[in-house]
Amino acid sequence: MTDNRLSPGDAAPDFTLPDADGNDVSLSDYRGRKVIVYFYPAASTPGCTKQACDFRDNLGELGGAGIDVIGISPDKPAKLAKFRDNEQLTFPLLSDPDKTTLTAWGAFGEKTMYGKKVQGVIRSTFLVDAAGSIELAQYNVRATGHVAKLRRDLSV
């Protein structure tokens, strides 16, 4: 279904989505800073929890390099709030239940799960530069060890 994958140099598709508290957050709010936008399948699942906690634990170094972090999933804000509070996450988690943003970023579509082709969220990470262009696009990333690899890729 989705072949609209983003590549470095592409304009990052703008979005405005509710965070865990129901407040709108837009990609354009981050103009002038770099921001990691990552898409994950479901809050409070083992892989997504590990990935979110890795981002949380590396926020100091990322922030020191001028990089913010936003996580996006199809979960409703109430589920995101519980996830944030349970894991003490300190970066915005945004809700995209109709998957419009996920689809625009190429992070929703056909993937292989347990040997079967299914429609779902493709775990993906992007670095958007200060001008709003894609600097790094990674699809089908692993939940475990991903943030460490990302820091190596970005020399952070």
Q: Give the active site residues.
A: 48
Question: First-to-last CA distance in the chain?
Answer: 34
Distance CA 83, CA 60 (A): 20
Distance CA 8, CA 129 (A): 10
Beta strand pairing status for 124-128 and 34-39? Answer: antiparallel
Angle between helices 46-64 and 146-154 (to 10 degrees): 30
Q: Count the neighbouring beta carbons within 10 Å of the beta carbon of residue 148.
A: 11
Task: State the sign of the Cα–Cα–Cα–Cα dihedral 45, 134, 55, 85.
Answer: negative
